[in-house]
A and B are shown apart, each in its own frame.
Chain A
Amino acid sequence: MSKKLVEVQNLKQYFHAGGSLFKPKYVKAVDDVSLFINKGETLGLVGESGCGKTTLGRTILRLYEPTAGKIIYDGVDITKVNMLPYRRKMQIVFQDPYASLDPRMTVGDIVGEAIDIHKLASSKQDRRDRIIKMLEHVGLNSEHANRYPHEFSGGQRQRIGIARALAVNPEFIVCDEPISALDVSIQAQVVNMFEDLQSELNLTYLFIAHDLSVVKHISHRIGVMYLGKLVELAESNELIFHSAHPYTRSLISAIPIADPKTARKSKRIVLEGDVPSPLNPPSGCRFRTRCPYATELCASQEPELREISSGHYAACHHLDKVPNN
């Protein structure tokens, strides 16, 4: 269980964002992030929009070439290698099921193309069988193979996206906000499907979302990102019930509570202001501009991600000031 499948070390992903030739500006979408995911595990990744979680997921698959840092898959450094063999092992389910399927191809071809690229089918019949098997895996059926993506609903399309990712028998899937574009009623179905597929096919997930309540349900461990930095990482329950970082606290306080009595008693921590621009992030701790505990130290020195208890990491200078919950 505790074998590392995917590991990133000091990963940086900067995007060029204008500026002059001599003084280019960069968006530091992912800045010096290190983490690992064990085999068979689901690592949840949460954070506000624009905090770099999607970029991190895509960079791990080298859909973006990393600016610096290392990506290690199953013990092999894949930062510079030809990705083709790894494209079979590592897959991604995209956020927007409307945009991520080529409108000119039938569902069968969308799923089948991945099979063709990696030459997984021995014959035409085998190819067809595999496509149908994949569609059935995600609750669709063989007659859907000849239809086009626009003929399906959002939830069905996301299933097609999942079938497409599964078609190559991957070991690791980046789920990039796979449910945020779906109706609430369908979200639960799809999340459950992810869980079933995981136990059935022994998959490893990086599950990206901005909804902590979903992530807490599906993840073994959860990482919290803020402005391109990993600020806290811990086991799911540990993170939810013993969160250390002030940013994580505010996120958790925003989870709706089903029981109105408890809800009335709990206090919502509302953050002041907006997320600073990643073009020009604050010095030191990036969260300091919105943090109730910020001091001068936070402005001058960037806090390191350190282990505060077994397997629980947080990056904050003032962990002792944050009240226990």
Chain B
Amino acid sequence: MGKYVAKRVLTSILTIWLVATITFLLMFLVPGGPFLAEKAPSAATLEALNKRFGLDQPKIVQYKNYMLNLLQGEMGESIKQRGRMVQDIIFSGFKVSARLGGIAILVAVCIGVPIGCIAAFNRGKWLDSLILFFSTLGIAVPGFVVSTVLMVIFSVKLDLLPTYGLTSFAHYIMPVSALAFYPTAYISRLMRSSMLEVLGQDYIRTARAKGLPQFKMIFKHALRNAILPVVTYLGPLLAYTLTGSVVVEKIFTIPGLGNEFISSIINRDYTMIMGTTIFLATLLIIMNMLVDIAYKIIDPRIKFK
């Protein structure tokens, strides 16, 4: 196990380095730069700015400097948000996005798993069809539609919920619903199909032959075996949701990381682009590793190589 984790960590570092390098290259292939605005600065100012951020040096030197700083945990100063360090911006945005995303995933799992199970137990009946209908809807309808529809109903028409910010419980309701909509639908479908598969297995019949009561059979044998695909899905889902959804954060004006992501690219904020990309890649890798380790705990058949 220790050896496995060590190997995973090593390959992860290699992956992150590759991601950083490729992002660095792509970044400079995109035309434009951080100082091009409607009101173009004078040539002297531009030169001074370029010098301050080290952009006047050859690309290879810039790359070397960036990597050396990164090794020391420094992501540099944001080019657009002067005076703020990239890691601080990421951290403060991540705090907001992660709380929101965490709640949304919790909601998605707590609703999606039971609903999927219920659909499986009632296979072919009207309840199953109803759940299937809503989960298909949930997968098909994009987040911005859900967000705006919610807003129209609950804020504009009913005047019940606030439309922006994250200062009270009521503020969380709509963004969490919008964020949880798709994963809930997806998890319920995953759960339904894997539960159906498990329920047809012989060992479920064995449990019945032993005399195990229905609900115990479901929790002890069926659920434990059927939950695996959901765990798999949870890894990348966590990474993407915790780092914030651009759409939802834009619509509800939430100061999260998702917003920073897009604005850094639009602004050609080179240090921010690097920082957010590396952060997302690292999170994704860590989540996938956690999922793999969780696998081993849930399923003894899986061995680490």
Chain A residue nearest in CB terms to B221: A102
- Chain A CB within 8 A of B157 CB: no
A148 and B205 within 8 A (CB) = no
Please tell me which one of the listed residues B201, B203, B211, B224 contacts residue A117 in the complex, with CB atoms under 8 A apart: B211
Q: In the complex, how many residue pairs between chain A and chain B have their CB atoms under 8 Å apart?
A: 62
- Min C-beta distance of B183 to chain A, whole Å: 25
Instruction: Please pick, from A87, A102, A148, A168, the residue contacting B203 in the complex, using a CB distance under 8 A.
Output: A102
Contact yes or no, A101 B211, CB < 8 A: no
CB distance from B223 to the nearest CB of A (A): 10
**A94-B202, A96-B202, A148-B300 are known contacts. Are A102 and B209 too (CB-CB below 8 A)?**
no
A63 and B217 alpha carbons, distance in the complex (Å): 14
Given contacts A103-B299, A150-B301, contact A118 B211 (CB under 8 A): yes
B209 touches A91 (CB 8 A): yes
Instruction: Tell me if A164 counts as interface (CB < 8 A to partner B).
Output: yes
- A88 CB-CB contact with B under 8 Å: yes
Residue of A nearest to B206 (CB): A100
Contact with B along A53-67 (1 / 0, CB 8 A): 000001001010000
B207 at the interface (CB under 8 A from A): yes
Interface flag for B225 (CB, 8 Å): yes
Min CB gap B231→A, angstroms: 13
Distance (Å) between the CB of A258 and the closest chain B CB? Answer: 34
Which parts of B157-184 form the interface with A (CB within 8 Å)?
Answer: none
Q: Shortest distance in angstroms between B123's beta carbon and chain A's nearest beta carbon?
A: 13
> 1/0 per residue A160-173: CB within 8 Å of B?
01001100100000
| A117 close to B212 (CB less than 8 A) | yes
The 8 Å CB contact of A104, one of B208, B209, B211, B225, is B225
CB-contacts of A53-83 with B (<8 A) = 58, 61, 63, 83
Q: Are B208 and A63 in contact (CB under 8 A)?
A: yes
Chain A residues in 8 Å Cβ range of B208: 63
Please indicate the chain A residues that have their CB under 8 angstroms from the CB of B299 in the complex: 103-104
Main secondary structure of the interface of B (DSSP, over half): helix
A102 to B206, CA, bound (A): 9
Complex alpha-carbon distance, A88 and B208, angstroms = 11
Q: Are B301 and A148 in contact (CB under 8 A)?
A: yes
Contact B209–A101 (Cβ < 8 Å): no
A84 to B208, CA, bound (A): 10
Give A125-158 as 1s and 0s: 1 = Cβ < 8 Å from B's Cβ atoms. Answer: 0000000000000000000000010100000000
The residues in B between 202 and 236 inclusive whose CB is less than 8 angstroms from any CB of A are 202-203, 205-212, 220-221, 224-225
Query: CA–CA, A106 to B224, complex, Å?
Result: 14
Contact assessment for B212 and A92 in the assembled complex, using a CB-CB cutoff below 8 Å:
no
Beyond the given A114-B210, A148-B301, please list 16 additional residue pairs across the A-B interface where CB-CB is below 8 A.
A61-B209, A63-B208, A91-B209, A99-B201, A99-B203, A101-B203, A102-B206, A104-B225, A104-B298, A106-B300, A113-B207, A113-B212, A118-B211, A150-B300, A164-B206, A168-B210
Pairs A–B under 8 Å by Cβ, sample size 30: A58-B205, A61-B209, A83-B211, A87-B209, A87-B211, A88-B211, A91-B209, A94-B202, A94-B206, A96-B202, A99-B202, A100-B203, A100-B205, A100-B206, A102-B206, A103-B299, A103-B300, A103-B301, A104-B224, A104-B298, A106-B300, A113-B207, A114-B211, A118-B211, A148-B301, A150-B300, A150-B301, A164-B206, A164-B210, A165-B209
Which 4 pairs across A and B sit closest by C-beta, in order of nearness?
A: A87-B211, A99-B202, A100-B202, A102-B203
